[in-house]
Structure 1
């Protein structure tokens, strides 16, 4: 068990407050701070005593990850990536590939010689990227396609003329053809985004206000039209959403602990200045229309909660340590610990490590059972491999 230091990614949609406040640094920050990465992804690995976590694992995969449960299944890499995400404004409309799509896309771009840092590079690795976001404050998102009858009712109530033509087709279940048509539209003037903003403000629901914000920020962007078809989600603290491969989504604002399969593969369809590939987005998009993919925590004893998902590569738990030692989950597998609030002392029976708000630790599979104690209201998140 050793202290882990994660890099902060300064994407332009990031917060000038949240990550710095958690870490006890002055706010507002000069640059936006979007994501604190706590993992071993080669694009930006966290460090242990100045050494990249990816290099540390490569030097002793079985000792760091656990041979039987992890290395034989996932190879010599940490299969999950934990992040603290903080958004002051909307992220891009995006989807992530499944395992087969990711491997094929990565191999094709490698064979074509597309540089890893090229703007048009779509597949940065060969892994799928299902993800779970657990809110640490009120967080707004668009997540998955809403049921088509619900979207048709919403568009009728909105009364924006360009959208009314899609209502009968949505009632017939023609979601894929409608979304394909939306993403093919490029004439901003003909779509009257200013009128869309007015219609959304008149409708007055949180879903409509979110669309108005996007239309005002990205006039003429077809991603705004697709947003009309997505579930609006408002998460309170400790509520989560799970995004499977192919599920369209866009975080709008807020902050949360995000855990995912260790991948940086993103296909974007709009609401961004980054590279957009509509054809590839449509190819991997899942057009299933269903209710929002909420994930609520399950209590584990009196001091812990866990958010379960169908993904084997990761599991996320929160432990609220007490003055008496509390056993942390994940013994026998790799663990990343992150203290969101307060101060917790973690012990492996031999050594102790105190984690204050915003600090993290790496615990290899070779560690014995870990316990945590705290004399205040500490919140300690623990990322593990679900099937380790």
Structure 2
């Protein structure tokens, strides 16, 4: 891992490690997070990269969930040549600052991560700046900073996620088809939701009432509804089950009795292929389920949770903050800028991501940049399927001195003309 600090435009990026280091690269030590939903060391891309970047080997018995590259105090990167120096303090000097207009800016406005997702993450959303300031002031132990957290995930393997609410008309069908789901919402509230959607009332308000009723439902009622539903699904033939039924079963196996299991009937299930991307703006519900990805976000660690987690749940805040837009989210494919270079441009000012795909002997010219977070050299391509994470693949990974984020070579640029820090 390295951070490039360059006063002049970066001309080329090549496989050759020496050339990269000679271009004013400052190697950093990234921070690994061992959350329970991660993938165990032997199979985790996070662990594989961490073990080649860290001062200590990865622990094969631990789950490796996230690798953080950035300046956030919850997981700061450090300077490899002097681990006592954080990347934040390194950048917080006059020679490493840069300007936006007449304003001097220090540090990075984004946080780059690699995720190895072995189990479902919580049903969650990220606040706006205004809400983040309020939450941080009220509960700084749970909400670590005052920043918003728009984020974008680019799949490195087949990747599954729940993202946004399904079309309300599809939810209505499952309310009628799955009586246990209706009972968990509450029969009166479920009937009102169906009536509102069929009557072309305010869909967002109707969805908010139904979702709020479900998330605030008595725990014993939720547990009973889930138990009955899982037992009934277990007696059905496979061809009788919908994809939503199968997702609920998968979630129940991980979090039995958790109200978040019913998100299977409320939220869009996405199956992303490698290089597919999704952008998640403020106040949009989501939960990653399985796979590996590179994730870039504003420099924040604010997460509002309400299900599929043993962590702190802030149900009332989540219910009130969501936009309640329904329908499938956009899957981004990236824009081909030139040969070997693809750009992912999310609708926010904090970051963009470039995918550089280089073969031996090739190079590419990049636009001027002040800071570049990168990994090198170019390694193996992403696995074609989850099943492909076998001994042969691990052997190929082991031969790579420093593993890149699959085919992402320089990929997080803060260009003054494109990524505009808002502070």
TM interval, short-chain normalised: 0.7 to 0.9
Offset of 1:22 from its aligned partner? 4.7
Offset of 1:278 from its aligned partner? 0.9
Matches within 5 A, 1:268-307: 268-307=305-344
2:69 corresponds to 1:32:
no
Compared CA separation, residues 23 and 279, structure 1 to 2 (3 A): closer
1:292 alignment partner, SS class = coil
Matched with 2:115 is 85
Compared CA separation, residues 384 and 332, structure 1 to 2 (3 A): closer
The answer to whether the Cα contact below 8 Å between 1:304 and 1:318 also exists between their aligned partners in 2 is yes
Matched with 1:358 is 403
Return the match for 1:217 from 236, 244, 254: 254
In the alignment of these two chains, the number of paired residues is: 347
CA distance in 2, matches of 1:9, 1:206: 31
Offset of 1:313 from its aligned partner? 0.6
* Cα deviation 1:258-281 (Å, max 9, x = unaligned): 000010001110111101111111
* Cα deviation 1:310-339 (Å, max 9, x = unaligned): 011111111012344523545233210124
Aligned-residue RMSD, C-alpha = 2.7
The answer to whether the Cα contact below 8 Å between 1:186 and 1:221 also exists between their aligned partners in 2 is no
CA distance in 2, matches of 1:305, 1:298: 5
Q: Runs of 5+ in structure 1 lacking a partner?
A: 344-354, 361-376
Compared CA separation, residues 9 and 340, structure 1 to 2 (3 A): farther
CA distance in 2, matches of 1:54, 1:144: 34
2:88 corresponds to 1:54:
yes
CA distance in 2, matches of 1:122, 1:65: 30
Return the match for 1:41 from 69, 72, 80: 72
Compared CA separation, residues 357 and 205, structure 1 to 2 (3 A): farther
Offset of 1:44 from its aligned partner? 1.2
After TM superposition, the score normalised by the length of structure 1 is: 0.81
2:238 corresponds to 1:238:
no
The answer to whether the Cα contact below 8 Å between 2:276 and 2:331 also exists between their aligned partners in 1 is yes
The answer to whether the Cα contact below 8 Å between 1:158 and 1:200 also exists between their aligned partners in 2 is no
Matches within 5 A, 1:14-29: 14-16=38-40, 17-18=43-44, 19-22=46-49, 29=60
The answer to whether the Cα contact below 8 Å between 2:369 and 2:413 also exists between their aligned partners in 1 is no
Compared CA separation, residues 3 and 27, structure 1 to 2 (3 A): closer
The answer to whether the Cα contact below 8 Å between 1:307 and 1:316 also exists between their aligned partners in 2 is yes
Offset of 1:23 from its aligned partner? 5.5
The answer to whether the Cα contact below 8 Å between 2:38 and 2:66 also exists between their aligned partners in 1 is yes
* Cα deviation 1:292-327 (Å, max 9, x = unaligned): 232212112110112111011111111012344523
CA distance in 2, matches of 1:221, 1:4: 39
CA distance in 2, matches of 1:58, 1:91: 33
Matched with 1:206 is 243
Compared CA separation, residues 199 and 291, structure 1 to 2 (3 A): farther
Matched with 2:394 is none
2:147 corresponds to 1:140:
no
Q: Runs of 5+ in structure 2 lacking a partner?
A: 1-24, 381-399
The answer to whether the Cα contact below 8 Å between 2:50 and 2:58 also exists between their aligned partners in 1 is no
2:114 corresponds to 1:96:
no
The answer to whether the Cα contact below 8 Å between 1:186 and 1:222 also exists between their aligned partners in 2 is no
Matched with 2:142 is 122
Offset of 1:127 from its aligned partner? 0.6
Offset of 1:95 from its aligned partner? 0.6
1:214 alignment partner, SS class = helix
